[in-house]
């Protein structure tokens, strides 16, 4: 009898081990692979795959040949390789990459195809570096111009951010690299980012802040999502049950993995039951190096395993996390179609430059005397001495800024590109210094040095017949940098005074600004031309010079409102409670009236409105016409050069029982027109354009009253027609 039982057990065991290894079969449906893999894993192996094993990897199952996940920042290129277990550079010599323009610049292109180009190019670099998960893109809403990380996001409007992020994710993930859209959600400021609790209405949450994430999940099928540090309803978003299990997984059907922000996990029970799937970055250095806290001590490691073993949390909770991790592994690391990728290819530099060119926004361009043409594009025959002033003409803007910092193979600075085109005509004066980009610390600047730099610039300006000022923000702490917000709306480092004094010497002056945020411009009336460049990545100089010289006609449009004064931003009237918060509580009292929605609601005229951007040509809009649900308009290029125009389509709900914005962006189309050419552009009003989150019913409703349609080249330059 004993013999029979033993043989039966042996038989069962052999059956189990010889069971077809479905999980390794790339042709098998992913869900079957996942089920099969889980059935073979021990509890400990399951625990191992749901938390970090190094700074940027989570474990696979070596015994079963299941690969680990290699992750990396994000979002503008692949971050430099770091040591396995620290934030220190690994000092590799083959991890120099292309820095792509900042996501705010991408949003400013209003070009969905370019977004797909970006997603493809950057994911090829990730694939080449052996990465499976790209920590980006970011779609937090630019609610305040002080947010130190706004440059990593796509502006103030949820529709624009959604339309731009969907093609990005789709084309990146085609290469077998998962996007990890971040930071979910309400991480709209860096001040107190680890602890601030955000209070807001459900309609603001759904309409404004969740919407780009929802579209990334529902329309782009994003594979992973990063929980944010901050809290909502008093619970950290990295393991917020209502947010992750409720909205994200149940309501939107997200089937991928929720990854914590690095160090964003704070509690085992919440992490276990609150929807987190992979815990990353808890404490700074694990493995006994700087702290006693090892990878086994992670909240989702031994402490969670214990709860499972004691039966306090059912195995299904663990299995569900494992299923999500395995799905991600099969879609990326073990995806037979994963691209090999490439690094620093010509195509990547070209993508970088093209996106930069289309993202640069021409904000002002006038003639300096009545008989002249506008100052831009530059007519080189007119100038013999061109003085370039400003630190951003030479400073690397790919370094600093926090986790998005990049180690590039080759960057072209604005000064280099200008010298390449205009040769000896170019002279340079730094004009001001901003000090070093030290993470978490503002460098001390010697006032004597600052004064000397200014004197030098003013002296050189007296001999110049054209000045190109190249300044703005940079990646220093308290500028555009993670883990700190800007100290104010004004530009720093005495730039305003310098620009004012330069403009008094020479009226032929172009101002070129870099930065992820709007800023005050007390000098705007005294300069002839202004370009805003966001951050342009490795090809910064070439993209800029192609615009300055007229080789490329500018076509960028603002994804964010530039206010005349800081006080005009819609939340500021609610003082500290609305930003940066009091006692770590912040209240979004402006509700859905963020950005242009708020300026229009408050009837405040911005300096440069959302959607605004000039061209070297001019466009004439015909009268919009309506046929059924479709509104059409003819757009003609009435100038002398070929150019691109973004036609924006807004809808206002005229008779809604609830208060609504005057109008909201619902569609846009970017077209290219030759001089004299006319194109008809049509927009159809389908149900999805009439959705709104009702205060009364606390859910999405479809508006069915009269609408006013607004069509034009910016939010403030529109024609309206009733529908
Ligand atoms: C940032 C994330 C980043 C992570 C890893 C965090 O501090 O908030 O955006 O992906 O670090 O570097």
Query: In terms of residues, how long is the chain?
Result: 723
3-state secondary structure 534-589: CCCHHHHHHHHHHHHCCCCCCCCCCCCCECCCHHHCCCHHHHHHHCCCECCEEECC
Query: Residue 377: is the preceding peptide bond cis (ω within 30°)?
Result: yes
Can you give the pTM of this predicted structure?
0.96
Distance 55 CA to ligand 1 centre (A): 11
Indicate the Cα dihedral angle 710, 712, 715, 721, nearest 10°.
-10
Q: Which of 43, 101, 599 is nearest to 301 (CA)?
A: 43
Closest CA to ligand 1's atom 3: 403
Nearest by Cα to 272 from 295, 232, 254, 245: 245
Measure 183 CA to ligand 1 centroid, in angstroms.
9
What SS3 state is found at 51?
A: strand
Q: Residue 438's pLDDT band (boundaries 50, 70, 90)?
A: confident
Cis peptide preceding 580, ω within 30 of 0: yes
Q: Residues of the chain with pLDDT > 70: what percent?
A: 96
Query: How far, CA to CA in Å, does 718 sit from each of 637, 663, 682, 714?
Result: 17, 11, 15, 7
Mutate to test the pocket of ligand 1, among 182, 187, 261, 440 (most ligand atoms within 8 A of CB): 261
Ligand 1 centroid, distance to 173 Cα (angstroms): 20
> Residue of the nearest CA to atom 2 in ligand 1?
261
**Catalytic position from the list 36, 132, 261, 411:** 261
Rounded distance from Cα 403 to ligand 1 centre (Å):
6
Atom 7, ligand 1: which residue's CA is nearest? 262
Q: What pLDDT shows up at residue 85?
A: 87
The yes-or-no answer on residue 704 being catalytic is: no
| 375-385 pLDDT tens trace | 999 999 999 99
- Mutate which of 402, 406, 440 for ligand 1? The one with the most ligand atoms within 8 Å of its CB, which is 402
The number of the ligand 1 atom at minimal distance from the alpha carbon of 180 is 10
Tell me how far apart the alpha carbons of residues 389 and 281 are, in angstroms, rounded to a whole number. Answer: 42
Q: What is the pLDDT of residues 307-349, one digit of tens each?
A: 999 999 999 999 999 999 999 999 999 999 999 999 999 999 9
* pLDDT digit string, tens, across residues 11-70: 555 455 568 999 999 999 999 999 999 999 999 999 999 999 999 999 999 999 999 999
Residues within 6 Å of ligand 1 by CB: 73-74, 135, 182, 261-262, 403
What is the distance between the alpha carbons of residues 56 and 69, in angstroms, rounded to a whole number?
Answer: 8
Answer for the pair 76, 151: CB distance below 8 angstroms, yes or no.
no
Closest CA to 467 of 504, 527, 510, 497: 510
Cβ atoms of 103 and 182 within 8 Å: the answer is no
- CA–chain centroid gap for 32, Å, is 35
Q: Are 494 and 450 in contact, with CB atoms under 8 Å apart? A: yes
Give the tokens for residue 612: 């605004």
**Average pLDDT taken over every residue of the chain:** 95
């Amino acid at each position: 009898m004993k013999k029979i039982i033993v043989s039966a057990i042996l038989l069962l065991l052999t059956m189990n081990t010889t069971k077809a290894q479905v999980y390794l079969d790339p042709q098998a449906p992913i869900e079957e692979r996942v089920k099969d893999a889980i059935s073979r894993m021990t509890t400990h192996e399951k625990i191992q795959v749901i938390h970090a094993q190094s700074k940027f990897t989570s474990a696979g199952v070596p015994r079963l040949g299941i690969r680990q996940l290699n992750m990396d920042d994000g979002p503008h290129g692949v971050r430099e390789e770091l040591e396995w277990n620290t934030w220190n550079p690994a000092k590799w010599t083959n991890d120099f990459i292309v820095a792509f323009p900042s996501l705010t610049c991408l949003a400013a292109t209003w070009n969905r195809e370019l977004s797909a180009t970006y997603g493809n190019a950057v994911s090829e670099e990730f694939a080449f570096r052996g990465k499976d998960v790209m920590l980006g893109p970011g779609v937090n809403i630019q609610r305040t111009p002080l947010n130190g990380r706004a440059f990593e996001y796509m502006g103030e409007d949820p529709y624009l951010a959604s339309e731009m992020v969907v093609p990005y994710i789709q084309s990146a993930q085609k290469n077998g690299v998962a996007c990890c859209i971040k930071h979910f959600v309400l991480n709209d400021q860096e001040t107190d980012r680890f602890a601030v609790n955000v209070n807001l209405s459900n309609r603001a949450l759904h309409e404004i802040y969740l919407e780009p994430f929802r579209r990334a999940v529902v329309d782009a099928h994003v594979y992973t999502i990063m929980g944010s540090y901050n809290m909502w309803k008093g619970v950290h978003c990295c393991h917020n049950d209502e947010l992750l299990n409720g909205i994200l997984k149940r309501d939107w059907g997200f089937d991928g993995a929720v990854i914590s922000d690095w160090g964003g996990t704070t509690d085992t029970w919440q992490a276990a039951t609150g929807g987190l799937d992979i815990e990353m970055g808890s404490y700074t250095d694990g493995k006994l190096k700087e702290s006693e806290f090892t990878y086994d001590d992670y909240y989702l490691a031994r402490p969670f395993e214990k709860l499972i073993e004691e039966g306090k949390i059912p195995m299904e909770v663990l299995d569900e996390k494992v299923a999500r991790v395995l799905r991600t592994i099969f879609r990326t690391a073990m995806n037979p179609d994963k691209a090999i990728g490439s690094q620093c290819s010509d195509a990547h530099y070209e993508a970088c430059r093209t996106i930069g060119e289309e993202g640069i926004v021409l904000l002002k361009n006038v003639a300096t005397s009545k008989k002249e043409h506008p100052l831009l594009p530059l007519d080189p025959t007119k100038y013999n001495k061109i003085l370039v002033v400003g630190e951003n003409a030479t400073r690397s803007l790919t370094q600093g800024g926090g986790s998005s910092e990049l180690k590039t193979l080759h960057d072209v600075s604005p000064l280099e590109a200008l010298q390449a085109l205009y040769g000896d005509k170019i002279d340079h004066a730094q004009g001001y210094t901003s000090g070093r980009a030290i993470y978490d610390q503002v460098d001390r600047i010697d006032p004597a040095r600052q004064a000397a730099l200014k004197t030098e610039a003013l002296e050189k300006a007296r001999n110049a017949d054209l000045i190109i000022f190249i300044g703005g923000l940079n990646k220093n702490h308290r500028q555009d940098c993670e883990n700190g917000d800007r100290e104010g709306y004004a530009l720093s480092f005495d730039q305003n005074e310098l620009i004012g004094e330069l403009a008094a010497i020479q009226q032929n002056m172009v101002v070129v600004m870099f930065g992820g945020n709007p800023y005050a411009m007390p000098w705007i009336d005294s300069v002839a031309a202004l370009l805003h460049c966001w951050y342009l990545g490795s090809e910064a100089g070439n993209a800029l010079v192609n615009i300055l010289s007229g080789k490329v006609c500018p076509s960028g449009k603002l994804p964010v409102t530039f206010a005349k004064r800081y006080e005009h931003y819609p939340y500021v009237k609610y003082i500290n409670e609305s930003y940066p918060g009091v006692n770590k509580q912040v209240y979004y009292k402006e509700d859905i009236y963020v950005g242009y929605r708020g300026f229009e609601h408050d009837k405040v005229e911005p300096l440069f409105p959302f959607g605004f951007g000039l061209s070297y040509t001019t466009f004439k809009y015909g009268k919009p016409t309506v046929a059924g649900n479709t509104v059409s308009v003819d757009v003609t290029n009435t100038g002398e050069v070929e150019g691109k125009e973004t036609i924006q389509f807004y809808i206002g709900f005229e008779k809604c029982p609830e208060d609504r914005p005057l109008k909201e962006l619902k569609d846009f189309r970017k077209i290219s027109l030759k001089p004299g050419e006319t194109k008809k552009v049509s927009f159809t009003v389908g149900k999805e354009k009439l959705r709104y989150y009702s205060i009364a019913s606390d859910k999405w409703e479809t508006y069915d009253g009269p609408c006013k349609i607004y069509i034009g080249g910016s939010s403030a330059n529109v024609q309206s027609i009733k529908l």
